[in-house]
Amino acid sequence: MNEIKTLHVIICGGVGAMFSAIASYFGGWDSSLTTLVIFMAVDYITGLLVAAVFHKSPKTATGTLESRAGWKGLCRKGVTFLIVLVACRLDIVAGTTFLRDTVIVAFLVNESLSIIENAGLMGIPIPEVIINAVDTLKNKSESHYSDEDDILYEEDMEE
């Protein structure tokens, strides 16, 4: 019985150390990163509901669940974290502290818009206060960019 408890402590300690190391690479685990993870999960879940229950997904030809669309969504979320990681590391190299947070806010705006779009596809009215909050976040993230041409969009990359 003691061997099981010891093994449990070792596994929990190892997992905790691993996640602490990962969090440190992202500049620490703070409310911004927590909010991003929550928004990503909500977006993914609402996207699944739009496809599985309402059959209105714009990501598939039939509007229903498709594993490839789900996989692409997860890959995009993974790359989002990689971009946050890059921004954090650039902050460290440049001796600044704003790039990571700016990138996170930009992704929060994107996730918020996607959640609102999913809710709209489900026929859920969006309270004006949420739309205003997203607009405020969008303006906050855009204020860090001096030129709209500096932002790469998906359609720019396809050319």
Q: Give the pLDDT score at 44.
A: 97
pLDDT band at 137; cut points 50, 70, 90: confident
Q: Could you read off the pLDDT of 145-156 as tens digits, one per residue?
A: 544 445 555 555
SS3 category, 144: coil
Q: Could you read off the pLDDT of 9-58 as tens digits, one per residue?
A: 999 999 999 999 999 999 999 999 999 999 999 999 999 999 999 999 99
- Say which DSSP state 151 is in: S
* Amino acid in the structure at residue 114: S
| Residues 6+ positions from 36 with CB-CB distance below 8 Å | 80, 84, 104, 107, 108, 111
Q: Give the pLDDT score at 73.
A: 95
Q: Give the pLDDT score at 100.
A: 96
Nearest residue to 104 (alpha-carbon basis) of 22, 19, 27: 27
Q: Give the pLDDT score at 152.
A: 54
Q: Could you read off the pLDDT of 100-131 as tens digits, one per residue?
A: 999 999 999 999 999 999 999 999 998 999 88
Average pLDDT along the chain: 88
Render 50-83 in DSSP notation, one character per residue.
HHHTS---TTSSSSS--HHHHHHHHHHHHHHHHH
Q: Give the pLDDT score at 74.
A: 96
Q: In angstroms, rounded to a whole number, what is the distance separating the alpha carbons of residues 85 and 22?
A: 10
CA triple 77-150-109, angle to 5 deg:
40
Q: Give the pLDDT score at 150.
A: 52
User: What pTM does this model have?
Assistant: 0.79
Q: Could you read off the pLDDT of 27-41 as tens digits, one per residue?
A: 999 999 999 999 999
The greatest distance separating any two alpha carbons of the chain, rounded to the nearest whole angstrom, comes to 64
Q: Give the pLDDT score at 159.
A: 47
Does the pLDDT value for residue 93 go beyond 80? Answer: yes
